[in-house]
Structure formats: C-alpha cells, structure tokens
Chains A and B, each alone.
Chain A
C-alpha cells in the first residue's frame, strides 16, 4: 500500500526525520489559509498523487504571494496529472500540499528498500538528487552508494559513515546526516515499510538536512499491525475494478488486449497471459480467482472481465487440485445464469475429476461455451474466438 507525500511526512515528523513545515488543502481558499499560517514569503504547492515525476508534469509549483498560492492550488486541483509513473491515463489531483519554501544548497537522493539477495533492508544514497533515480542507477550505478543493514544489529554508526563519506559530505555535515539516516531506518523498520524514497533530500544554507519529498510504501501483509497506516489508504488512488475484485478475494489487473482470462493461482494466471500472447493474441486482464474457485468467485470473475468492453473472448483456465473440476464446471454453468456472458468462453479444466467436468459442460450444451483439452488448445481457441475465427 502506498500513501501520499503529506502522510509520509507526518510519519517522518513522529520519528524525528526533519521535514519542512506544511499542510494539506482541498481548495484554493484552504491552501491560502495554510500558507498564511506557515508565514514567510515563499511557498511550494504540490499535487498529492501516488506517483513520482510530478515536478516535470506541472504538479509542483512555487508561489511568491498568498494570491499566487490560491491561484495555483485552484488550477492544480481537479487537473489530470500525467507522469512517467501514472500511465497515459494520468491521475486526478484531489488535494494539494502547501509547504514553506526551502533554502536549497545541495540535493541528494536517499532511499530504503528490501534487498532480496542479502535478505536485509538496504539504504541507498546518491549525490544525484532531484534526478530520475532509475536513470542514474542504469547509466551510472557507481553514483549510488548502498549499505545493507542487518536488522539484528540495527542501524550503526558505520552504516551512516559509509553513506556520508560516499556522498563526499564535509566533516561537520556527517553527524547531522547520520542522525537523519538513523531516524529514517527506524521509520522503515517500525512501520513495516517496503519502500521509502526521499528525492530530493536537501542540505540547506544553514547545513541542515531536510526531506523535501517523501514517498512511502508498506507491506500489505503487515497492515494489521498498523491501524494508523491502514487508515491512510486512499482508495481514489487505486483502480476501482481492482478494489472491487479485492473485496471478493480476487486479484485483477486490467490490460490492453481482448482475450479475457480467468485462472486459479497467480503463476498460472501470468503463464496464461503469456501463452495467449504466444498464440498471437493479447490478454485483456490478469485475474487470479484463488485456489478455491467456487461459483460465487467465478460469477464475480465473469462480471469483472465483462466490464471491459474490449473483451471479445474469455479463456477460463483452471487446474483443479483440492478443488474438484466437476464443482468448478457446475460453478461456471451457474455463473453463466447469473451473469449475461455474450462472448465465447473457452474452458479448460484439468486436474481432479477433469473428465466428469468435461462431461458436465458437454451435456449442458451452451453454445457460448467451448471446451478445450489442454493449455495450448485452450489458448489457441480463445485467441481464434477473439478474432471471430471460431
């Protein structure tokens, strides 16, 4: 689960990670009020969406008067922001964050993520702050300094020194930097985060380190420990169809093709998308109905797939293990009665009681249902059906 910048900064404050003062606003006048309370004569108005690259897309703007704050906030609210992380459809700005202007002397990058190879959290720093960090990592990997932190010993001085000297910090900057990094490590571990990115981390004219931006992601499996974080979830940032699917224990991701897929298990679901492509088609979605596919989840699956008007055929690919295929076949028949399925449905059921299942589907004699003998046969038929060749 991801949260907004303003929420991440709230958490940072609780842990003593220095951030500029600021407040969130949902309207122009409210933005003005926040700026007024902050005081000063320079503010930054920042669109709050769950994506990076906001600056380039016009989602971060400087204001030099209260009138300007109000005007910019009004322009930004409701606008569709398209960045390299939002996809071409962009994201609607529902709230803005007003922050006091900062005296930027130098920009850095500081991030934390789980390193799967060492199986430890790793902190990454770079002098190339404010830049597209993925580009830095690809073109000049030597400019990113990494330290894996063994959680059984926690954040130690040497971790901090390795980063600080790697960044070429001056002697008097090392202590405040290490303090900053240690506080960040504590946020990451305490809150079961799976990602923290500060880009840029700035050094001010007075030698202070400040998180000018903040991006945080959390381990969904650990949210039960953190009701305060779970409450920060912003459903408007998520795909409504995916949210709807999750309510039924289904995992759905919308894609661009025209062959709908309904599969049990994430790996087999991805493999099904792959074989559709391999046979010359394009998958319309990823849909994992889980290990225990039953009539209800199958019916919901059809509903989700058919919301997408591009879908021209559906490939149901279920490998019955503990769940018997005959039950799934009955589930499919029941589902076709509940949901109007107006495209050809290619059904491949294999595993426990596969023969009985084939018999059930054959006897039902529904013209839209096309049985398939195996994975390849099913994919071929589904692709052909989508092209109107079946």
Chain B
C-alpha cells in the first residue's frame, strides 16, 4: 500500500516534448512509472519516448485512461494546463513548474477544487511511492521501500530526510513534496489522514519551513486525528525576520510563521520535533522502537 499513486497509476505528462518534460519523463519511465502518453498542443499524433502525444488532455485521457498528470508547462501557461487537466477529468495533477504567478495558481486551484481534482505543487519535486511510481524530479534511488510516510515543503531536504531514514534500515511508503509557494495543492492537513489510513505507513515525517501557518494547522489536526508517530523538522530557525529565503513561502514578518512558533505548536500536539536536521532519521527509528 501507499498513498495517492502506485505501480498501476497511469500518468500523462503535460509539456511532454519540452527539454525538462522529456528528461524527467525518461527518468520516471526508467523508475517504472506507467507514463502512458503526453500532451503538447500542435504535436498530436506524434510519438515521443515511445508514447503517443496528444493535442489536448481530454484526448489523452480518453485514449489512455490516465488519472494523473505531471505538469512541466512553462510558468506563463501553468494555470491553463492545470485547469485543462481538471476539465478533462484528471484526478491528480502534479505541478513541477517553478515560477508560476500566484494569482494564476489561485484561480487554477479554485477551479481544480470545483472539479474535484487534487493538486500537488507547484514548484515541488513531486510524489514518489518507493519502488513503484515516481511522478516528479526526485532522484528515485534514494527512496527505498519501508514504513515511513514523508511530507515536505522542500526538495533537497526531502532527499536528505529519506536518505537518513534509509540509513537507519527503514524506508519510505510514499513521499510527497508539497512545495513552498503561497498557493499550494495538497498540504499536511490533507496528506496526514491518508498516511494515517495507509496500513503500510507506521510513522510520518513532516518537513516544514518558516512562513505561513500550514504547520500550525497541521499541529492542531495531528492532536485530534493522528495516532501514528510524527517526526517534524522546521527549516529556518536561524532565518532573520522579513528576509526572503529563496522560496516565496519562506518569509516571515511580524513574528508570524516563525520556526519557533511552529515547533512549539507541533510539540504541544505530541510531535517529535527535531532541532537539528541531522536527527530526522534517528528520531524516526527511535519513535518506531527500532
């Protein structure tokens, strides 16, 4: 078991024939993901990486039965691509693109929600179910199969955390990079109950960052609803106030959304909060009694 995606998930790629789309689709296929086709308007009818290319998402869905779309469309057209996927009946859109305007994503997410389509990202590494299905840009080999679910705002920190978990002799069920933009799709609050319900997941790692209040909302949710052990790290404990740290989301102002505030809330909810990012793996092992 796992959450959201597995070896049977059929995936199309929007922005399939572009440089990024091509490179990462190849990597996903190599990992074993069922990439069943792609969409590039104007290139319908062609074949790319041995898969059919379609002009529209609707055609792709009708022909392949895909339920998930991985989106590599450039920032100016990302929202359009997301809305097209929602309109075509896609169930989950994984938006990798970095740099999409916030306003565009606000409209796109509202429409996706209306159509019942889940989204992950934008500006994220994607989602991976270990040794089954990789939909995104993460290095697949780091994610060995095991009992730990992972939710993270940050890309490379996700790899770091998974690596530590694997070094402890454990592994990952599913890892989700949710992204750190102001408007994101699935977040801790939606993903935590999925991991709680997944019989293979025994512990959950959540990696947060300064800025926003998602981690605080997650803390309240964990207190009420999550029985599995949760280990958390919040990046940006040393970040100065009011400074932007690379991610649009990682900005703190007026004392709101500080690492300390988030760590306190999570601790109060019974979460194992680590101060040092090097202690994530060890703490998971300890929480699982291993």
Tell me if A286 and B245 are in contact (CB < 8 A): yes
**A192: nearest residue on chain B (CB-CB)?**
B103
Any chain B CB within 8 A of the CB of A365?
no
Tell me if B246 and A269 are in contact (CB < 8 A): yes
- In residues 245-287 of chain A, which contact B (Cβ within 8 Å)? 251, 253, 255, 263-279, 283, 286
- In residues 240-290 of chain B, which contact A (Cβ within 8 Å)? 240, 242-248, 250, 253-255, 259, 275-278
Q: Would you give 7 A-B contacts (Cβ < 8 Å), ordered by A?
A: A120-B106, A138-B255, A219-B101, A219-B102, A221-B102, A274-B237, A321-B159
Tell me if A267 and B235 are in contact (CB < 8 A): yes
A352 to chain B, nearest CB (A): 6
Which of A268, A274, A277, A278 makes the CB contact (< 8 A) with B160?
A268
Tell me if B247 and A277 are in contact (CB < 8 A): no
Tell me if B246 and A251 are in contact (CB < 8 A): yes
Among A4-12, A65-73, A75-83, A111-119, the stretch that binds chain B is: A111-119
Tell me if A266 and B100 are in contact (CB < 8 A): no
**A277: B residues at CB distance < 8 A:** 237-238
Excluding A222-B104, A266-B250, 11 further A-B contacts by CB distance (< 8 Å) are A116-B183, A151-B110, A189-B103, A192-B101, A222-B102, A251-B245, A266-B180, A267-B152, A267-B250, A274-B276, A320-B139
Tell me if B100 and A221 are in contact (CB < 8 A): yes
Tell me if A151 and B106 are in contact (CB < 8 A): yes
Which of B154, B156, B245, B276 makes the CB contact (< 8 A) with A253?
B245
Tell me if B155 and A116 are in contact (CB < 8 A): no
Any chain A CB within 8 A of the CB of B75?
yes
B248 to chain A, nearest CB (A): 7
Any chain B CB within 8 A of the CB of A137?
yes
Count of chain A residues with a beta carbon within 8 Å of a chain B beta carbon:
55
Tell me if B141 and A271 are in contact (CB < 8 A): no
Tell me if B183 and A119 are in contact (CB < 8 A): yes
In Å, the complex CA distance between A224 and B238 comes to 32
In Å, the complex CA distance between A375 and B279 comes to 10
Any chain B CB within 8 A of the CB of A173?
no
**A320: B residues at CB distance < 8 A:** 139
**A376: B residues at CB distance < 8 A:** 276, 278
**B250: A residues at CB distance < 8 A:** 266-267, 270
- In residues 195-246 of chain B, which contact A (Cβ within 8 Å)? 207, 209-210, 212-214, 217, 233, 235-240, 242-246
Any chain B CB within 8 A of the CB of A350?
yes
Which of B107, B142, B183 makes the CB contact (< 8 A) with A351?
B142
**A114: B residues at CB distance < 8 A:** 102, 106, 182-183
Tell me if A291 and B155 are in contact (CB < 8 A): yes
In Å, the complex CA distance between A222 and B137 comes to 24
In Å, the complex CA distance between A383 and B99 comes to 35
Tell me if A379 and B159 are in contact (CB < 8 A): no
Tell me if B100 and A319 are in contact (CB < 8 A): no
Any chain A CB within 8 A of the CB of B6?
no
Tell me if B236 and A274 are in contact (CB < 8 A): yes
A95 to chain B, nearest CB (A): 23
**A375: B residues at CB distance < 8 A:** 160, 277-278
Any chain A CB within 8 A of the CB of B109?
yes
Tell me if A267 and B182 are in contact (CB < 8 A): no
**A151: B residues at CB distance < 8 A:** 103, 106-107, 110
Any chain A CB within 8 A of the CB of B76?
yes
Tell me whether A85 and B242 are in contact in the complex, defined as CB-CB below 8 angstroms, given that A264-B156, A352-B139 are known contacts: yes
Any chain A CB within 8 A of the CB of B29?
no
**B250: nearest residue on chain A (CB-CB)?**
A266
Any chain A CB within 8 A of the CB of B138?
yes
**B236: A residues at CB distance < 8 A:** 270, 273-274
Contact indicator per residue, chain A 115-130, by CB within 8 Å of chain B (1) or not (0): 0110110000000000
Any chain B CB within 8 A of the CB of A139?
no
**B191: A residues at CB distance < 8 A:** none
In Å, the complex CA distance between A152 and B107 comes to 8
**A192: B residues at CB distance < 8 A:** 101-103
In Å, the complex CA distance between A80 and B174 comes to 53
Tell me if A319 and B159 are in contact (CB < 8 A): yes
Any chain B CB within 8 A of the CB of A186?
no
Which of A220, A288, A322 makes the CB contact (< 8 A) with B137?
A322
In Å, the complex CA distance between A272 and B240 comes to 14
B66 to chain A, nearest CB (A): 24
Tell me if B182 and A271 are in contact (CB < 8 A): no
**A253: B residues at CB distance < 8 A:** 240, 243-245
In Å, the complex CA distance between A1 and B48 comes to 40
Contact indicator per residue, chain B 102-133, by CB within 8 Å of chain A (1) or not (0): 11101101100000000000000000000000
The list of the 3 closest CB pairs from A to B, nearest first, reads A267-B154, A265-B156, A266-B246
Contact indicator per residue, chain A 177-203, by CB within 8 Å of chain B (1) or not (0): 000000000000100101000000000
B132 to chain A, nearest CB (A): 19
Any chain B CB within 8 A of the CB of A56?
no
**A114: nearest residue on chain B (CB-CB)?**
B182
A146 to chain B, nearest CB (A): 14
Any chain B CB within 8 A of the CB of A225?
yes
Any chain B CB within 8 A of the CB of A134?
yes
Any chain B CB within 8 A of the CB of A374?
yes
Any chain A CB within 8 A of the CB of B186?
no
Tell me whether A271 and B233 are in contact in the complex, defined as CB-CB below 8 angstroms, given that A119-B183, A321-B156 are known contacts: yes
Any chain A CB within 8 A of the CB of B27?
yes
| Best-surrounded residue of A194, A251, A263, A270 (most CB of chain B within 10 A) | A270
Contact indicator per residue, chain A 217-229, by CB within 8 Å of chain B (1) or not (0): 0011110110000
Which of A116, A194, A268, A283 makes the CB contact (< 8 A) with B154?
A268
Any chain A CB within 8 A of the CB of B157?
yes
In Å, the complex CA distance between A276 and B277 comes to 10
Tell me if B106 and A119 are in contact (CB < 8 A): yes
